[in-house]
């Protein structure tokens, strides 16, 4: 698990670390998680990285869909719901 409070260099971090999945808040300083998803999905090297967006924004689910996120979870959420969402998303990518 790698934590960050800034998304400004996320493409480089993702290319360096090669995570199995990315969990992003839609509302982040400087660049939001939805914008990060758009950049990742437009990049051939990161397009297949599963991304889960979360937010307390009432438009969060729509924003996640428009951005191209693989899943969305509304805040506040229960840990079991987060785990289920992550498992389902990972299964779609890695158990095909």
Query: Among residues 50, 34, 59, which one has the least CA distance to residue 89?
Result: 50
Q: pTM for the complete prediction?
A: 0.90
Cα–Cα distance between 75 and 19 in angstroms, integer?
A: 23
- Taking phi over 0 as left and psi of -120 to 50 as alpha, with beta for the rest, 30 belongs to left
Cα–Cα distance between 35 and 75 in angstroms, integer?
A: 19
pLDDT in tens, the chain (96 residues): 887 766 777 878 888 899 999 999 999 878 889 999 999 999 998 999 999 999 999 999 999 999 999 999 999 999 999 999 999 999 998 886
């Amino acid at each position: 698990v790698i934590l960050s409070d800034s998304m400004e260099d996320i493409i480089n971090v993702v290319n360096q670390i090669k995570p199995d999945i990315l969990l992003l808040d839609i509302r982040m300083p400087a660049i939001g998680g939805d914008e990060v998803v758009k950049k990742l999905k437009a990049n051939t090297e990161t397009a297949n990285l599963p991304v889960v967006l979360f937010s307390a924004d009432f438009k969060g689910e729509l924003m996640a869909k428009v951005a191209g996120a693989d899943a969305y979870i509304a805040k506040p959420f229960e840990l079991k719901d987060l785990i289920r969402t992550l498992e389902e998303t990972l299964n779609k990518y890695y158990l095909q």
